[in-house]
Amino acid sequence: MDIRPARTRLAPSPTGRFHLANARNALYSYLVARQTGGQFILRVEDTDQRRFVPGAEEVIVLSLEWLGLTPNESPFHGGQHGPYRQTERREIYQHYAKILIEKDSAYPCFCTPERLDQMRKEQEARKVDRVRYDGLCRRLDPENAARRVASGEKYVIRFKMPYEGTTTAHDHIRGNIVTENRYLDDYILMRSDGLPTYHLSAMVDDHEMKITHVLRSAEWLPTFPLHVQIIRAFGWDEPIWIHPSILLKPSGKGKMSKRDTAAAMKDGHSIFVDDLDGLGYTPEGVLNWIALMGWGVAEDDVMTLDEMIERFSIDNLTPSPAAINFQKLDHFNGTHIRLLTTEELARRVKPFLTNAGFDVDDDTLLKVTPLIRERLVTLDDSIPFAGFFFKGTVEPNPEDLIAKGLDARQSAEIARKAYDILASLPDMSHQTAEPPMREFVETSGLSANQVFGILRVAVTGQKVSPPLFESMEVIGKENVLERLQKARTLLESL
Ligand code: GLU
């Protein structure tokens, strides 16, 4: 493996939302940079002004920050190879387009949209293998073409693709990809508005920014031969090209559609990184999940970002499409939640509890956190599991207070006995409270489920809670007794 300090980049277009595939490219790029002591760069590809979405750039940066994949160079972090926004680099592309024309690898094309449309229709009628530009302007005398440009005529710049032979492009995951040039086109490099297309701008920027590894979506495979042709026309060194596997919807059939995305959201999941935070996912869980989509390590390998830096290798990436599996996300999220320290977990669940309207005091939260840790899949699970700790009173459903196989009167009697036992204790620590309550169960001939069920609903207000005696310890003797008293009154009124 090449161990020179790598320079890698994420080159998103601010045209939509920041999704898992972007995040995965960012992660792999970041890992390659970090493990070689290199740099990870964020470059914003905003030359398609019609598709520009205001605010998209900020979401990208915030998502990267949240994941912990902070770029070394970006429009926000600066750097020596900027500007990092393509619309701020127009002159650079114009300069390089001119060089390609001088090298006879590109030419201005004056064909109008109407003519191109007619050409396409004619070719389709002839049932050609592949509709491509017919080369009308490619055959123009260069001096004549230059005069027309100088006179202000509208034009685009096209790449001069060889008509014959083949292009071999090497992808690190897929090996050599050989394409017959007759299936390729004289692609447009510069639009008539003077802004470049991706084909030119990305190649120029990767060169100018000294990118060593280009990790990008497999959607670019069809134009991959064009890209290597452009680089060879300039006479530049090629980067290592890496096109990770395609991500498929959970069923494995096709890519995520708008409808799939909406369905996932309803289910508390999302493919958009800026949603995952609010849904209670942790960056650690999300990173672990996306790392394994296309990296051939054991499916359930639990890794932190530092461990990934240690272990990642572009040699282990697989080309097979990966289905997005939200159950795995839940699994990794729960696993990473359990790896957090109590203080850190408390810090992370606090905003969820506060936003749910609970008045959270840090002392109680620190006591509660170890009690709920094992049960959390997402951070917002803390609301049903732990919210009641922060309420002055609870409002149990009276029906829930009636133990299975008993009636309200018998249940009230148990609440009364439990009250008496607990009231006689010096404190409510679980070591103090649990033995006499268990003894009561034994002598009463009732089951633990019956007795502790009443106790649980009475003091927590709900049928499911963290471990009962530990919870009672946090709630405190006075509150426990008050709630038992209230439960008994409620039962007696039924
Ligand atoms: N701007 C391109 C996109 O968002 C970037 C592709 C690349 O990483 O080269 O699809």
Query: Cβ(478)–Cβ(423) under 8 Å?
Result: no
**Beta carbon of 206 within 6 Å of any ligand 1 atom:** no
Other Cβ atoms less than 10 A from the Cβ of 334: the count is 18
Q: Whose CA is nearest to atom 2 of ligand 1?
A: 12
Q: What pLDDT, on the 0 to 100 scale, is given for residue 4?
A: 85
> What spacing in Å lies between the alpha carbon of 102 and ligand 1's midpoint?
27
DSSP 398: G
Q: Where in the chain is the domain with CATH 1.10.1160.10?
A: 258-339
Count Cβ neighbours within 10 Å for each residue of 44-63 and write b for 16 or more, e otherwise. Answer: bbbbbeeeeeeebbebbbeb
DSSP 381-393: GHHHHHGGGG-SS
Question: What span, in angstroms and rounded, lies between the C-alpha atoms of 400 and 186?
Answer: 74
For ligand 1, pick from 19, 220, 230 the residue to mutate: most ligand atoms within 8 Å of CB.
Answer: 220
**Beta carbon of 12 within 6 Å of any ligand 1 atom:** yes
- Point out the least confidently predicted range of 163-172, 185-194, 258-267, 334-343: 258-267
- In this structure, whether the domain defined by 398-492 belongs to CATH 2.60.40.420 is answered with no
**Beta carbon of 202 within 6 Å of any ligand 1 atom:** yes
Q: What pLDDT, on the 0 to 100 scale, is given for residue 229?
A: 98
The 3-state DSSP class for residue 336 equals helix
Sheet of strand 240-242: strand arrangement: 39-42, 7-10, 213-215, 240-242, 166-171, 175-180
The 3-state DSSP class for residue 471 equals helix
Question: What span, in angstroms and rounded, lies between the C-alpha atoms of 73 and 39?
Answer: 8
pLDDT band per the 50, 70, 90 thresholds, residue 423:
very high
CATH number of 89-242: 3.90.800.10
Mean pLDDT score, 243-247: 95
**Beta carbon of 243 within 6 Å of any ligand 1 atom:** no
pLDDT of 93 above 60: yes
Question: What span, in angstroms and rounded, lies between the C-alpha atoms of 447 and 441?
Answer: 6
> What spacing in Å lies between the alpha carbon of 220 and ligand 1's midpoint?
8
**Beta carbon of 11 within 6 Å of any ligand 1 atom:** yes
Mean pLDDT score, 274-287: 97
> What spacing in Å lies between the alpha carbon of 217 and ligand 1's midpoint?
7
> What spacing in Å lies between the alpha carbon of 215 and ligand 1's midpoint?
9
Q: What pLDDT, on the 0 to 100 scale, is given for residue 297?
A: 79
SS (H, E, C) 253-308: CCCCCHHHHHHHHHCCCCCEHHHHCCCCCCHHHHHHHHHCCCECCCCCCCCCHHHH
Mean pLDDT of the chain: 96
Q: Whose CA is nearest to atom 8 of ligand 1?
A: 216
Look-up of token digits 């429009």: 75
For ligand 1, pick from 201, 216, 226, 231 the residue to mutate: most ligand atoms within 8 Å of CB.
Answer: 216
Residue 214, beta-bridge partner list: 241
N-term to C-term CA, the chain: 75
pLDDT band per the 50, 70, 90 thresholds, residue 1:
low
Strand pairing class (188-190; 7-10): unpaired
Two tokens at 59?
A: 């979401």
**Beta carbon of 45 within 6 Å of any ligand 1 atom:** yes
- Point out the least confidently predicted range of 68-82, 251-265, 345-359: 251-265
**Beta carbon of 13 within 6 Å of any ligand 1 atom:** yes
- Atom of ligand 1 minimally distant from the CA of 10: 8
Strand pairing class (166-171; 322-323): unpaired
- Point out the least confidently predicted range of 118-132, 295-309, 476-490: 295-309
> What spacing in Å lies between the alpha carbon of 43 and ligand 1's midpoint?
9
Q: Where in the chain is the domain with CATH 3.90.800.10?
A: 89-242
pLDDT tens digits, residue range 101-143?
999 999 999 999 999 999 999 999 999 989 999 999 999 999 9
> What spacing in Å lies between the alpha carbon of 68 and ligand 1's midpoint?
21
pLDDT of 339 above 90: yes
- Amino acid identity, position 362: D
**Beta carbon of 229 within 6 Å of any ligand 1 atom:** no
Mean pLDDT score, 138-153: 96
Two tokens at 227?
A: 């890209």
Look-up of token digits 């790598």: 6
**Beta carbon of 453 within 6 Å of any ligand 1 atom:** no
pTM here is 0.93
> What spacing in Å lies between the alpha carbon of 12 and ligand 1's midpoint?
5
Q: Where in the chain is the domain with CATH 1.10.10.350?
A: 398-492
- Atom of ligand 1 minimally distant from the CA of 215: 8
CATH number of 342-390: 1.10.8
Q: Whose CA is nearest to atom 9 of ligand 1?
A: 216
For ligand 1, pick from 217, 230, 241, 243 the residue to mutate: most ligand atoms within 8 Å of CB.
Answer: 217
pLDDT tens digits, residue range 189-243?
999 999 999 999 999 999 999 999 999 999 999 999 999 999 999 999 999 999 9
pLDDT of 97 above 80: yes
Residue 434, beta-bridge partner list: none
> What spacing in Å lies between the alpha carbon of 306 and ligand 1's midpoint?
26
Enzyme catalytic residues: 258
- Amino acid identity, position 108: P
Rg of the Cα atoms in the chain: 32
**Beta carbon of 216 within 6 Å of any ligand 1 atom:** yes
- Atom of ligand 1 minimally distant from the CA of 45: 1
For ligand 1, pick from 13, 30, 85, 203 the residue to mutate: most ligand atoms within 8 Å of CB.
Answer: 13
pLDDT of 377 above 60: yes
> What spacing in Å lies between the alpha carbon of 219 and ligand 1's midpoint?
9
Two tokens at 4?
A: 């020179």
CATH number of 258-339: 1.10.1160.10
**Beta carbon of 69 within 6 Å of any ligand 1 atom:** no
- Atom of ligand 1 minimally distant from the CA of 216: 8
